[in-house]
Amino acid sequence: MSFIEDHNSFVDAIKKLIEDKDYIRASTLLKNKLVKEPEVSVFQLFYFEVLIQLHKYKEAKLWLKKFIAKCKSQTDVYYYEGLYYFLEDNLNQSMESLGKCFKRKVYYLKKLSTDDTFDLLKETKEFKKLIKPAKVFQVNEFISLKLIFSKTLIYVCGDLFLTCQKVALNLAPNEFEKYDNFDDIDGAVDFYESKASKEEVIITPEEEFWVHCSNLQTWVENKYNTNILTKYLSFPILEELSQRGISYFVTIFKEEIISRIKTGGIKILLYFIEGDYLNYLSEEDFFDSLLSIEDAEIIRNISNLIPLR
C-alpha cells in the first residue's frame, strides 16, 4: 500500500470511528499516529475534535494551537482561533475572530451551526448578538431569508442552508422585451451575461436582499416552478425539502427534474448529471415521463430480455 493510500485509509477509519462516536478508540489511534507523524495537520485537527468529545480540554487546546500554526488560510485561522479563545474563556476575543471569519466566508457559520460540539458557544448572548440578522424575511413556513454580515442567507426549516449569489439580472425597463422569448431564467441569465457590460453594477447588500426575497416569494407563489428561479437555488432548496421527508416536496422535486429534462436542453441535463439529481428518478420515471408510450413499451420489452442496469 502506498503512502497516500495508507493516509487515506487511516483518515477514513478515523471518520468512521467519529461517526460511530467511538471516541476512545479514535483517540488511541490518533495518539499513536501523531507520535510518528506529529506535523500532519489533519491528524492534529481530528485529535482536537476527539479530545473535545472526551472533555479533555487542556490537551485539546494544545493540539488546536498546533493546528492553527499550520493553517494556510487566514479564514481558517480566524475560525479556529475563535474556538480556541472560547476554550480559554475569552469570549470577546472569540467573537472578534469568528466575526472576521464569517465576514470572509459564511460557510463557516453553517459549519459551526451544524456542529453540536460547541453548543455552549452558540448559546452565549455574545454569539447571538454577533449573528443577529439586519433583516429577516419569511417566505413561508419552510423558507426564510436573513441578511447577516451583508450577505443574504437562505434558511430551510429554520436551518442555515446556503448563501445567495449576486443578483444575476439587472435590467432597465426598456430592456425587458429582449428577454420575452426565454422559457426559463437560466437561459435569460446566460444571454444577459453574454451581452451585458463588464462594468459591475453597484447594488447595496440590503437592496440585493430584497431582490432575493422577491424572487423566492414569486417562486413559491408559482408552486416552485424552477423556470423562474435559477437552478442554483431552486433545485438545491427542493432537494433539501424533499430529503426532510415532506411528501409534497418529494413529488414537486421529481416533477421539476422531469419537466426540465424535457424542455431545458443540454446545460440543465449536465447540471443534473453533475449534481447527481438523476439518481432521484426511478426506471419507471424514465419510462413513463420521459419517453413516448411507443418507445417506453419497446424498451420495456427489451429490458425483459436484457435487464437494464
pLDDT at position 164 is 86
Smallest CA-to-CA distance from 84 within 110, 106, 102, 58 is with: 58
Cα 199–chain centre separation: 29
Task: Please tell me the distance from the alpha carbon of residue 72 to that of residue 90, in angstroms, as a whole number.
Answer: 24
The C-alpha cell at 230 is 435559477
Q: Return averaged pLDDT per consecutive 10 residues of the chain, 309 residues in all.
A: 76 95 97 94 96 96 96 96 97 98 95 92 97 97 97 96 71 40 49 49 88 94 92 95 95 93 84 91 74 55 51
pLDDT at 203: 84
Kindly list the domain boundaries of the chain, sorted by start residue.
Answer: 1-70, 74-131, 222-309
User: Which residues partner with 138 through β-bridges?
Assistant: 144
pLDDT of residue 262: 83
Give pLDDT, residue 192. Answer: 45
Question: For the domain 1-70, what is the CATH code?
Answer: 1.25.40.10
